[in-house]
Amino acid sequence: MLQELMTVVDQKQLAPKIFEMRLTGDLVKEMHIPGQFLHILVPQADLLLRRPISIAEIVPERNECSIIYRIEGAGTEKLSLLKGGDSLDVMGPLGNGFSLETVEKGQTAYIIGGGIGVPPLYELSKQLVKKGVEVKHIFGFATKDVIFYEKEFSKLGDIHLATDDGSKGKHGHVGHLLDTLQEKPDVVYACGSRGLLMAVENRYENQNAFLSLEARMACGMGACYACVCPKKSDPTGQASFKVCDEGPVFKVGEVVL
Ligand SMILES: Cc1cc2nc3c(=O)[nH]c(=O)nc-3n(C[C@H](O)[C@H](O)[C@H](O)COP(=O)(O)OP(=O)(O)OC[C@H]3O[C@@H](n4cnc5c(N)ncnc54)[C@H](O)[C@@H]3O)c2cc1C
Ligand code: FES
């Protein structure tokens, strides 16, 4: 785990409250695995805890990475005000990320995401396509105005959309979309709300499926136990995983959602 004052290359608003920030620095050389996250110190004295944000894209040839985030509170609001040339204290890359080992060239992957769970799936999709895997994206958003990266994902493979209000794609949530798809994927990757992860778990239990979880974090590196979630294998509910360093990606059925 490393830490660096990275430099903001630029920042772009993708949708209401949703921003894409590109960063450059030596830390990019450490970034290889999709689904890992950066632990970012917001440049504001009263915000002491770092904010975990997933790596959305790694571009080694330009020594850049990007993050996509939604303004939720004071930290992300402050991040949205940064401009090209500003510095940002970044720790990472952290977490285990998505494994590409369990899928072969020519096989099919379902990439399932909801809302602000979609960003880490972009680097994942790019790496799968590079490996020769056929990808299908199945995404849910609240409404059409907050959809982002539709064109970027479409270049990599099919995209199926659902919106809660029916303003684009299927009316309803991702589970409804999954029920309309016929084939059996070789691997499934998902990132989004607990509801979305449960919909995926219900449909792909005992299969080659991976879920990326969110949890409130403090240290981000396994020392404080702020981010634990219960292990499914322990009926007493005592045993737990730390989402920051044993996750955020888990095999389906490993954690109690
Ligand atoms: C592994 C991981 C990856 C994430 N990736 C992304 C991403 O790519 N894009 C994105 O928009 N968001 C992502 N999040 C959620 C993001 O961390 C929170 O939205 C952010 O920390 C909110 O900070 P804030 O100061 O704006 O909000 P506040 O609500 O003011 O934050 C107060 C405190 O709560 C923590 N917190 C609040 N919401 C969350 C949350 N959902 N998860 C964890 N901690 C939270 C903050 O870190 C902070 O310490 C991710 C979370 C995790 C755990
Ligand atoms: S955030 Fe400290 S152990 Fe996970």
Determine whether the shortest distance from the Cβ of 72 to ligand 1 is under 6 A.
yes
User: What pLDDT band is residue 1 in, cutting at 50, 70 and 90?
Assistant: low
pLDDT digits (tens, 9 = 90+) for 171-194: 999 999 999 998 899 999 999 999
Closest approach atom of ligand 2 to CA 224: 2
pLDDT digits (tens, 9 = 90+) for 11-28: 999 999 999 999 999 999
Specify the pLDDT at position 182: 84
Question: At residue 235, does pLDDT exceed 90?
Answer: no
Lowest-confidence segment of 57-61, 99-103, 178-182 by average pLDDT: 178-182
Rounded distance between C-alpha atoms, residue 175 and residue 169, angstroms: 13
Can you tell me the mean pLDDT for 40-46? 96
Q: Please check whether the two domains, 98-212 and 215-257, share a CATH topology.
A: no
Is 16 buried (19+), middle (13-18) or exposed (0-12) by CB count in 10 A? exposed
**Which CATH superfamily includes the segment(s) 215-257?**
Dihydroorotate dehydrogenase, electron transfer subunit (2.10.240.10)
Specify the pLDDT at position 158: 97
Question: At residue 138, does pLDDT exceed 90?
Answer: yes
Q: What is the DSSP string of 163-211?
A: ETTSSSSEES-HHHHHTT--S--SEEEEES-HHHHHHHHHHHTTSSEEE
Question: At residue 9, does pLDDT exceed 80?
Answer: yes
Determine whether the shortest distance from the Cβ of 222 to ligand 2 is under 6 A.
yes
The angle at the Cα of 64, spanning 117 to 68, to the nearest 5 degrees, equals 20
Determine whether the shortest distance from the Cβ of 73 to ligand 1 is under 6 A.
yes
φ/ψ (deg, to 5) at 146: -100, 10
Determine whether the shortest distance from the Cβ of 49 to ligand 2 is under 6 A.
no
Determine whether the shortest distance from the Cβ of 242 to ligand 2 is under 6 A.
yes
Q: What is the CATH number of domain 98-212?
A: 3.40.50.80
* Best mutation site among 91, 242, 250 for ligand 2 pocket (most ligand atoms within 8 Å of CB): 242
User: What pLDDT band is residue 46 in, cutting at 50, 70 and 90?
Assistant: very high
Question: At residue 36, does pLDDT exceed 90?
Answer: yes
Specify the pLDDT at position 67: 98
Show me where the domains of the chain are located: 2-94, 98-212, 215-257
For residue 178, what are the CA distances in angstroms to 157, 162, 174, 199, 201? 16, 10, 6, 9, 12
The angle at the Cα of 151, spanning 97 to 18, to the nearest 5 degrees, equals 65
Helix (H) or strand (E) holding 130: helix 120-131
Hey, what CATH class is 2-94 in? mainly beta
- Locate 114 and state its tokens: 């909801």
Whole-number average pLDDT of the chain: 96
